[in-house]
Amino acid sequence: MQLKHIAGNSYFLDGANCVGIYIFSDQTCLLVDSGFSESQAKKIVTLLTAEGLQIKTIFNTHAHVDHCGGNEYLQTHCQCDIIASQMAAAIIENPIFGPAMLFTAYPLKVLRSRALMAQPSKVNRIASPGPLLINNLEFQVYDLPGHSLGQTGLMTPDGVAFLGDSLMHEQMLMEYPFLYMVDITRQLETLDFIRRQNWPLVLLTHGGLVNDLGGCLEKNQARIIKITEEILALLDIGRSHEEILAAMLIKYDLNANSGQYYLVSSTIAAFLSHLSQQKMIRNRVEDGVMKFYRIKRE
């Protein structure tokens, strides 16, 4: 992990889970997300301390473990404040909601692992879209829902946009064809929103700085449209959620463990909800099974 400069006082720590850094003139700093785990958080503290920096604030883009997994350690050891959206805060403070959302009830033990559930930490400030003063400097918060509920992005005074997982780096799209999303309708709106902003400096947690934002947005949108069409093609006959899930796991050759199974299952549910919202499918219970059908148009 290395501290890399982006522009002005905006930096990032590179690696599989990039962490955004903004350095204030008093040598305190803001982190955008806190890494995957306590061990990553320890490395962050060691590295920033060696630079003479003190962590004062964490801004969490969303409540997935690879974004808030270092919160508890950092808050305990650095007494830093945590800022997050209302919805992200609910999960950061009550991490059981994350796997419970995947399982739709108190989750299986395998879903309560460290890979899917962070230690709880305390959110000190709720972020809403618009200007946000941190250490007397004005940052901008953007609503970017879709990949998760209540995901936000943060722009530093240098014009660097830290966008979390609101879109996926092209490399990630190639490696992981089936990326987690909870709200497809909102995700498409978020991609449109980012396209309209045309920010010059965008950092994504997985993959780092984006070279070609327009191209990256197009590939993200194309992936959603492709999966939408693949699901629709299955629904000329009525199929259950689990049958659609099985078909997609086989089609994409996803050798899923229990955690991945429920992540993909949740994403399929998000697509079904989107298609229903678009009036492209309908559903009804048949012999005790919820079945989804494509609505035929002339």
Residues binding Zn ion (CB under 5 A): 64, 165
The two structure tokens encoding residue 12: 């990032």
Cβ atoms of residues 144 and 129 within 8 Å: no
Please report how close the Cβ of residue 188 comes to Zn ion at its closest, in angstroms.
Answer: 17
Cβ atoms of residues 217 and 238 within 8 Å: no
Please report how close the Cβ of residue 180 comes to Zn ion at its closest, in angstroms.
Answer: 7
In terms of CB distance, is 9 or 187 closer to Zn ion? 187
The span from the CA of 41 to the CA of 99, in Å, is 22
Please report how close the Cβ of residue 284 comes to Zn ion at its closest, in angstroms.
Answer: 33
Cα distances from 20 to residues 9, 42, 59, 281, in angstroms, run 11, 16, 9, 41
The span from the CA of 186 to the CA of 158, in Å, is 28
The span from the CA of 142 to the CA of 123, in Å, is 18
In terms of CB distance, is 23 or 98 closer to Zn ion? 98
Please report how close the Cβ of residue 257 comes to Zn ion at its closest, in angstroms.
Answer: 18
The two structure tokens encoding residue 106: 């108190």
Cβ atoms of residues 111 and 102 within 8 Å: yes
Closest CA to 99 of 273, 261, 271, 250: 261
Please report how close the Cβ of residue 60 comes to Zn ion at its closest, in angstroms.
Answer: 11
Residue 106 CB-half CA count within 13 A: 1
In terms of CB distance, is 142 or 292 closer to Zn ion? 142
In terms of CB distance, is 165 or 183 closer to Zn ion? 165
In terms of CB distance, is 64 or 274 closer to Zn ion? 64
In terms of CB distance, is 78 or 224 closer to Zn ion? 224
Please report how close the Cβ of residue 227 comes to Zn ion at its closest, in angstroms.
Answer: 17
